[in-house]
Structure 1
Amino acid sequence: MSKTVKDLTAGTAGGIAQVLVGQPFDIVKVRMQTSPKGTYSGMMHCATGILKNEGPLAFYKGTLTPLLGIGVCVSIQFGALENVKRYFAAQNSAKAIGGENGATLSGSQLFTAGVVAGIANGFVSGPVEHIRIRLQTQSSTKPDYKGPFDAIKKIHSAHGLPGLFKGQAVTFLREATGYGVYFLAYEKLVQREMALKGIKRDELSPVNAVLYGAAAGYALWAVIYPIDMIKSRMQTDGFTSATGQKYKSAIDCVRTVWRTEGIAAFTRGLTPTLIRSPFANGATFLGFEMASRVLNSW
């Protein structure tokens, strides 16, 4: 099995773990991000409202899309990341002098690898998250879509590919910025652990994989949360003025939200995100690291 196939497979394992752990928190975040100001007094008000009005299964509404799509997204992330890391490691080794460790990547190289991973991921995560958000925010009594495939069919039929890729520009901005920081943080923590203990990567403790993944997740959201909020607004907005379109562009969305709701709107829904982040991101890296070990042993 080639290294790339192993990376993609291990990334899929990480993505599935991320969705199963993080989905209930994500729906609360999206509802709080996209609902009118004053709809919810806080995270618990939103969560209890969903539970009371829609039942416990509502926390996994739209899960099929991310389970399939995010598995692919995380697979692409890690596949792109590991390939760029190998490219830089080969460059470093060719330039290494007097026993320098060329395989150890610099911070700028790790950030660049993360940016490439994020952009590659964005081609899939944009439409996947768009469909997921449409399903998460639709009425439970009179839904517009029966499921993810019905949503894809109806949106494509009415608005073509641009409809499916709604909010794509801000998605690319979020992915490039966020994953540059995300993988930089995780890889630097792993490098530090390996150097301090004199161990190889496959000797990294599962507990540390979870802890470093959690830390990377917090670094990610510290950078991208306002961007993510704008993305959610764009992806729940109407497609045309006839269907209730509020925002002409991402910039117009930023200006409108700032003017009508104030700066607090850019952090609405942050609490469930911060609670979700260590579990979902810890699970992602644990899934990737453990799956990589199994695959590399074959």
Structure 2
Amino acid sequence: MGLSQSQKDLVGGSVGGVAQVLVGQPFDIVKVRIQTAAPGTFASPLECASTLLKNEGPMGFYKGTLTPLLGIGACVSIQFGALEWSKRFFSERNGGKELGLPELYASGAIGGLANTVVAGPVEHIRIRLQTQPANAKLYSGPLDCAAQLIKSNGLPGLFKGQVPTMFRDGIGYGCYFAAYEWLVQRHIRENGGSRADISPLYAVGYGAAAGYFLWGSIYPIDVVKSKLQTDALNPSQRKYRGMLDCFAQTWRAQGWRGFTGGLTPTLVRSPFANGATFVAFEMAMRAMGGPGGAPDIPVPDAIV
């Protein structure tokens, strides 16, 4: 028995997510290292990348990769399920008419919030692995990291930084879906045709642009989340009491610049990650006998 269209969408989305992680991981680890380092540690993203390469070798750029690879399927499934449920809910309320941007924003936000159930602990583990020193290995892998987090702080230890993660994903994915849909609707109004007629090149471009909207709307929150998730596990040794305290301390120490560390590799990463996601999604869908052409809404530049 063949796969249903929903199952094909989930498989295609998961394949796209894996490609996104593999292409985007080197940029992401540079972003996280800059976000969590003491002010003045790196003069530029290039210096951070050069230091990482020198001290940890090429595979240093893929530290913590296994965690998002294992979690991407669950994240995509939850996000797609919540997104589609929300779109149906709003469609029923407005009599089946095409959803407007506010409804698309709300649907994306709901999908993003639902996604954090898995994305929060997955990203916490990944960041712990990405920032552990090469000469003082603290964790042998994702499972060992999870076990140590639970041992030191119980199950809530896995969800450290969950509040900013929820703010980030709710706001960010709302902006992503609304921006992508606005660009697609504008393209159709100006060029005619339907979604299926939009070339893959335009779809990749719109996905990349929507990714910039995503990161532009939530980057300071992402910085705070990274700082909280690399803070000491022992409550008596923690630097920050919570999200608001982290915001306040970062502002006092560095001003607005404290919320932009690692932004450059993030913006450079976005078109490459979205391009890889789209190509992998298309190849997977065609291999399963699915329809070609641009997907209604491609898998976004995943935060996980």
Q: TM-score by structure 1 length?
A: 0.90
Distance, in Å, in 1 between the alignment partners of 2:4 and 2:102 is: 27
- 1:74 aligned partner: 76
- 1:272 aligned partner: 265
In structure 2, do the counterparts of structure 1 residues 167 and 263 end up closer, same or farther at CA, with 3 Å as the change threshold? Answer: same
Distance, in Å, in 1 between the alignment partners of 2:261 and 2:289 is: 41
Q: 2:17 aligns with which of 3, 15, 18?
A: 15
In structure 2, do the counterparts of structure 1 residues 78 and 295 end up closer, same or farther at CA, with 3 Å as the change threshold? Answer: farther
- 2:152 aligned partner: 158
3-state DSSP class of the match of 2:154?
A: helix
- 2:220 aligned partner: 226
3-state DSSP class of the match of 1:262?
A: helix
3-state DSSP class of the match of 1:145?
A: coil
In structure 2, do the counterparts of structure 1 residues 90 and 117 end up closer, same or farther at CA, with 3 Å as the change threshold? Answer: same
Q: CA deviation at 1:2?
A: 4.3
Identity of aligned residues (%): 56
Structure 2: gaps of 5 or more residues: 293-304
Q: TM-score by structure 2 length?
A: 0.88
Paired residues, number: 289
Deviations along 1:47-66, one digit per CA (max 9) or x if unpaired, are 00001111011001111011
- 1:144 aligned partner: 138
Deviations along 1:18-63, one digit per CA (max 9) or x if unpaired, are 1011100000000000000111001010000001111011001111
Residue 81 of structure 1 contacts residue 114 of structure 1 at CA under 8 Å; is this kept in 2? yes
- 1:262 aligned partner: 255
- 2:298 aligned partner: none
Q: 1:177 aligns with which of 148, 168, 171?
A: 171
3-state DSSP class of the match of 1:199?
A: coil
Residue 7 of structure 1 contacts residue 79 of structure 1 at CA under 8 Å; is this kept in 2? no
Deviations along 1:151-184, one digit per CA (max 9) or x if unpaired, are 0111112211110000001100000000000111
Residue 184 of structure 2 contacts residue 206 of structure 2 at CA under 8 Å; is this kept in 1? yes
In structure 2, do the counterparts of structure 1 residues 84 and 295 end up closer, same or farther at CA, with 3 Å as the change threshold? Answer: farther
Range moving further from structure 2, 224-233 or 272-281: 272-281
Distance, in Å, in 1 between the alignment partners of 2:87 and 2:41 is: 45
Residue 234 of structure 1 contacts residue 250 of structure 1 at CA under 8 Å; is this kept in 2? yes
In structure 2, do the counterparts of structure 1 residues 273 and 256 end up closer, same or farther at CA, with 3 Å as the change threshold? Answer: same
Residue 152 of structure 2 contacts residue 233 of structure 2 at CA under 8 Å; is this kept in 1? no
Residue 118 of structure 1 contacts residue 175 of structure 1 at CA under 8 Å; is this kept in 2? yes
Q: What one-letter code is carried by the residue in structure 2 that aligns with 1:186? A: Y
Residue 14 of structure 1 contacts residue 283 of structure 1 at CA under 8 Å; is this kept in 2? yes
- RMSD over equivalenced CA pairs, Å: 2.1
Residue 167 of structure 1 contacts residue 235 of structure 1 at CA under 8 Å; is this kept in 2? yes
Q: What one-letter code is carried by the residue in structure 2 that aligns with 1:5? A: Q
In structure 2, do the counterparts of structure 1 residues 195 and 287 end up closer, same or farther at CA, with 3 Å as the change threshold? Answer: farther
- 2:103 aligned partner: 109
Structure 1: gaps of 5 or more residues: 95-101
Residue 15 of structure 1 contacts residue 73 of structure 1 at CA under 8 Å; is this kept in 2? no
Distance, in Å, in 2 between the alignment partners of 1:253 and 1:159 is: 20
- 2:201 aligned partner: 207
- 1:36 aligned partner: 38
Q: 1:189 aligns with which of 168, 183, 186?
A: 183
Residue 118 of structure 1 contacts residue 179 of structure 1 at CA under 8 Å; is this kept in 2? yes
